[in-house]
Amino acid sequence: MGLKPIVLGVCAAALLLADGIAPLPTYTAAERRHWAFQPRKQPVVPVFSSPADRKWVRNPIDAFVLDRLKKEGLHPSPTADRVTLLRRLYYDLTGLPPTPQEIEAFVADKSPDAWTRRVEALLKSPRYGERWAQHWLDVVRFGESEGYEYDTHLPDAWRYRDYVIRAFLNDKPYDRFLTEQLAGDELSPEEEETLIASGFNRLGPIRRNAGNQEVASSRNEVLTEMTNVVGAALLGVTLGCARCHDHKFDPIRQADYYRIQAYFAAVHLKDFPKATEEEMAAWKAKVEPIQAEIKRLQAEMKKLKDQAGTEELRKELQKKVEEMQASMPPPLPVIHTVTAKPEERTAIHILARGDYRKPGDRVGMRPLGILLPDGTPELPESATKPRLELAKWITAPDNPLTARVMVNRIWHYHFGRGIVSTPNDFGRMGSRPSHPELLDWLANEFVSSGWSIKHIHRLILNSNTWMQSSALPADDGLRKLALEKDPENRFLWRANRRRLEAEAIRDSILMFSGRLNLKEGGPSVMVPIEKELVNALYKPSQWVVTPDETEHRRRSIYLMNKRNLRLPFLEVFDQPDSLVSCPRRESSTHPPQALELLNGSLTNTEAEHFAARLEKEAGPDLRRQVDLAFRIVSGRPPNARQLRESVEFLKSRPRREFALAMFNLNAFLYVN
C-alpha cells in the first residue's frame, strides 16, 4: 500500500517547521542535590562496643542494619531455625523448596561451613538461573508475542530468555550484561550471544495494522518502547514521564527524554537468520505450495463474497485457510534482534505532548543532563556505535544510579522490599532509601567485585539480617514497640513473610507430585488449556499445544508467555502481564485463587499423583502419610492438631482430597 500523499505531506511539513536545534538545559543546584543523583559515598561501617552487638554483626550489612535499628530504638529478631532458613534459601535462590531429605541432611550437618556450602551449591544450580532470570524478565517486560490484535508469536524469543538464564547462572558481570542487551549488535555483530542479547531493544509490544500504514506513529511507538525501558529498568528513573512534558518532579527535561531516544534513531528490528542456504531452500519448497493453496482458497472466497446464501461455504473455506495456515512448517530459526540502519535514521525531535505530529526542535544523542556537567555537548550524529556509548555511560563505575538500582533489586527479591521500596523509581516521587549508607556500601561492593550479582547474594545470605526470624517478638514489650514504631518493617527488625509467586506455586506443586520436568532451555511450551480460553483469542489457531505431554510439566519460565493469553493459574496469583515493566509483584488474596487451587485442573491432576506418591513412599500407615505430606509441602512435620485432623479425614475421605488440601496450606504458600 505505500505511503499516502497525506502522510507524506504531514512529514514534509514537519521537517520544514522544525529544524531548530534544542538548547541544552541547565539544572539548579537544588535539582542536582537529590540523593540518587549524588555520587555514591564511601560509608564507614559502624562499629559496636557491646559483645552481644559484635556477635550479631556477621558482615557490614548487619552493621548498617543494626546501627539503624538502634537509632530507631528497635532490636533485631533472633535467627530463624535451620529448617526455616533452608526453606527460605531454596525459594530465594531457586524458586523451589528443599526436599525432606535435603532438610534432614542440612539439619544433621553440624560442620561450620554447612550453610556456606548450601549457598554455593544452590548458586551453581540451573534452578538458580531459572529463578533469577524470571525477575529480570519481569523488569524488562519479556513476552513471546507482539501484543495488539495480531499478537504474532515470536517463535525464537526463548533465545533471549535462555540468554538471561545463562547470564545469571554464570554470573555474567552486570555491566557486560547491560552492554550486551543495549548494544550487543554493535559490540560484536557476528556473535550469536550478543545478537540475542540486543533483542532486549525490541521486547515491548508492537502494534501492527492492516491497510493504510501509520508509518510515523508506529515508528514513534517503537522508539517510545525502546526509550522508556532504559529509564525504568536500567536507571530506575521514570524517564517515560518526560515524553510529553518536562518531568513534573524530577530534573528530567523533555529534551533529555528525546536525547536518550536519539541513541535509538537508527535502530530497527531484525530477524537474523540462523539457517543455512540449503535449509532455507528446503523450507521454501515446503511452504510455497501451502501458500499457493491459501491464495487459491482466498480467491475462491472473494468470488463468492457477493453471492447470497454462500455464507456457510465461505465459512468452510475460511476454516480450510486456517487449517492450511496451521499446517505451515515451523519458521526457520532466527535471532530476534535489532540492527542499526544509518540510512533509515529517524530524525528525533522534541514532540509536543509526545505527539509525533507535533515535532519541535531537533535533538541529538546525550545521556541524562542531570548527571552531566551543564553544557556537555551532544554526541555527533556520525558517531559509530552510539548505543555502545550509551551503555558505557550507564555502566560507568561512577554512574550514581545503575549499581544502586541493581543491588536494590537484588535486595528486594531477598527481603520482599527494597532498600528503596520503588525499585523502578529512584526519583523524588519514589520512596527514600531506608538505609542509604547500606545502599551505597552494597553498590560499591557490587562495582568493585566486577559487578558480580552472586557476590551480593553471598553478602546478603551470610548476614544475620537476612537470617532473622519472621515471627513477632515473643516479648510483649518488644512486640508492641516494634509494631508501633515500624509496622511495615522498613528497618528490618524481623524477616518479612512472603507469599510465593505464581511460578513458584505451580513449580512446587509439580515437584510435590514428583512430576516436575526439569529440562532446561529451548523453545517455549504451549500447555493444554480450556477450549473456551483458546477461543477467547482473536486467532485461536495460534495456540498449538506442544505434543509431548511431559513438556507441559516443565518449570513455568519455559511456558509460552503470550501477551494476549495469560495462563489462568499464573494470572490469578499476580503474574505480571508482560506489557509494562514490573519492578515488584503484587501479592493479592481473593476468592478466585481459592477456586483455582480447589477446582483447577493443575491441582486436581497433581493431587492424584501426590496422593499416590504418599502411599508409595510412606506405606499404608496414615500417620506416616500425613507426616510425609507435611514435610514435603512445608518442610516440617505436622503439629499434633494437624496430624489428628488429617488422619481423621483420611479415614473417611479419599487421599487425593487430602493431597489437594496440602496444596492449600499457608505453610506451603508462604515463606517465613
Partner 1 sequence: MREHVRITRNRREFLTDAFCGFGAIAFAAMLQKEAVAAAVNPLAPKPPHMKDPKAKHVIFLFLAGGPSHIDTFDPKPLLNKLHGQKRPKEFGEVKYQFINSESRLMGSKRTFHRCGKSGIEVSDLFPHLGECIDDLAVIRSCQGDMVVHSAAQYQLFTGRIMPGFPSMGSWVLYGLGTESESLPGYVVLPDPDGALEAGQPMYGNGFLPAVYQPTMLRPGKRPILNLDLPQGVSLDERRQTIDLIRNLNEADMDPADEEFSARLNAYDLAFKMQTEAPAVFDLSKESQKTLEMYGVGKEPTDDYGRRCLLARRLVEKGVRFVTVVSGGGPGDLQWDAHSDLEENHTRMAAQTDQPMAALIKDLKQRGLLDSTLILIGGEFGRTPESEGGKGRDHHNYGFTFLMGGGGIKGGIVHGATDEIGLMAVEKPVHFRDLHTTVLHQLGLNQDALSFMHQGRRERLTEIQGQVITDIIA
Residue 139 is which amino acid?
V
The residue among 42 and 535 lying less far from partner 1, judged by its C-beta, is 535
Is 70 near partner 1 (CB under 8 A)? no
- Tell me which residue has cell 526455616: 84
Q: How many residues bind partner 1 (CB under 8 A)?
A: 99
Sign of CA dihedral 661, 663, 666, 668: positive
Please give the Cα distance from 242 to 370 (Å, whole number).
Answer: 13
The residue among 123 and 659 lying less far from partner 1, judged by its C-beta, is 659
Q: Which stretch binds partner 1 (CB under 8 A): 26-34, 130-138, 175-183, 205-213?
A: 205-213
Helix or strand holding residue 272 (H, E):
strand 267-273
Is 427 near partner 1 (CB under 8 A)? yes
Is 583 near partner 1 (CB under 8 A)? yes
Residues 226-245 close enough to bind partner 1 by CB under 8 A: 232, 237-238, 240-241
- Least CB distance from residue 212 to partner 1, whole Å? 6
Beta bridge pairs of residue 268? 339
The residue among 153 and 457 lying less far from partner 1, judged by its C-beta, is 153
Is 541 near partner 1 (CB under 8 A)? no
Q: Out of 104, 149, 475, 549, point to the residue binding partner 1 (CB under 8 A).
A: 149
Q: Which stretch binds partner 1 (CB under 8 A): 44-52, 192-200, 260-268, 558-566?
A: 558-566
DSSP β-ladder status, 349-351 and 498-499: unpaired
Is 211 near partner 1 (CB under 8 A)? yes
Is 142 near partner 1 (CB under 8 A)? no
Helix or strand holding residue 334 (H, E):
strand 334-340
Buried b (16+ CB within 10 A) or exposed e, 201-216: bbbbbbeeeeeeeeeb
The residue among 305 and 616 lying less far from partner 1, judged by its C-beta, is 305
Buried b (16+ CB within 10 A) or exposed e, 453-490: bbbbbbbbbbbbbbbbbbeebeeeeeeebbeeebeebb
Q: Which stretch binds partner 1 (CB under 8 A): 164-172, 194-202, 444-452, 480-488?
A: 480-488
**Closest residue by Cα to residue 241 from 418, 368, 408, 391:** 368
Give 445's contacts (C-beta < 8 A, 6+ positions apart): 407, 455, 456, 459
Is 21 near partner 1 (CB under 8 A)? no
Which grid coordinates are listed for 294? Answer: 491459501
- Least CB distance from residue 238 to partner 1, whole Å? 4
| Interface map 73-112 toward partner 1 (x if CB under 8 A) | ----------------------------------------
Residues 440-469 close enough to bind partner 1 by CB under 8 A: none
Q: Out of 477, 586, 620, 651, point to the residue binding partner 1 (CB under 8 A).
A: 586
- Least CB distance from residue 23 to partner 1, whole Å? 25
Is 312 near partner 1 (CB under 8 A)? no
Buried b (16+ CB within 10 A) or exposed e, 2-22: eeeeebeeebeebeeebeeeb
Beta bridge pairs of residue 270? 337
The residue among 76 and 364 lying less far from partner 1, judged by its C-beta, is 76
Beta bridge pairs of residue 340? 267
The residue among 164 and 235 lying less far from partner 1, judged by its C-beta, is 235
The residue among 117 and 245 lying less far from partner 1, judged by its C-beta, is 245
3-state secondary structure (DSSP) of residue 574: coil
Which grid coordinates are listed for 524? Answer: 517455549
Helix or strand holding residue 285 (H, E):
helix 277-304
Q: Which stretch binds partner 1 (CB under 8 A): 24-32, 278-286, 364-372, 482-490?
A: 482-490
Q: Which stretch binds partner 1 (CB under 8 A): 120-128, 371-379, 515-523, 529-537?
A: 529-537
Give 668's contacts (C-beta < 8 A, 6+ positions apart): 500, 508, 633, 634, 662
Q: Are 534 and 543 in contact (CB under 8 A)?
A: yes
Q: Out of 104, 594, 619, 621, point to the residue binding partner 1 (CB under 8 A).
A: 594
- Least CB distance from residue 454 to partner 1, whole Å? 28
Residues 272-311 close enough to bind partner 1 by CB under 8 A: 305
Q: Out of 275, 481, 612, 667, point to the residue binding partner 1 (CB under 8 A).
A: 667
The residue among 409 and 454 lying less far from partner 1, judged by its C-beta, is 409
Is 20 near partner 1 (CB under 8 A)? no
Q: Out of 458, 481, 604, 617, point to the residue binding partner 1 (CB under 8 A).
A: 604
The residue among 232 and 394 lying less far from partner 1, judged by its C-beta, is 232
Residues 368-407 close enough to bind partner 1 by CB under 8 A: none
- Least CB distance from residue 261 to partner 1, whole Å? 17
Is 641 near partner 1 (CB under 8 A)? yes
Sort 230 into a burial class: Cβ within 10 Å, 0-12 / 13-18 / 19+: buried
Please give the Cα distance from 362 to 133 (Å, whole number).
Answer: 38
Q: Out of 412, 435, 563, 631, point to the residue binding partner 1 (CB under 8 A).
A: 563
Is 31 near partner 1 (CB under 8 A)? no
- Least CB distance from residue 670 to partner 1, whole Å? 8
Is 645 near partner 1 (CB under 8 A)? yes
Q: Out of 41, 54, 248, 295, point to the residue binding partner 1 (CB under 8 A).
A: 248
Q: Are 337 and 194 in contact (CB under 8 A)?
A: no
Please give the Cα distance from 222 to 224 (Å, whole number).
Answer: 5
- Least CB distance from residue 204 to partner 1, whole Å? 9
DSSP β-ladder status, 359-362 and 670-671: unpaired
How far from the centroid of its chain's Cα atoms is residue 402's Cα?
A: 17
The residue among 383 and 579 lying less far from partner 1, judged by its C-beta, is 579
Q: Give the angle subtended at the CA of 195 by the CAs of 192 and 201, to the nearest 5°.
A: 155
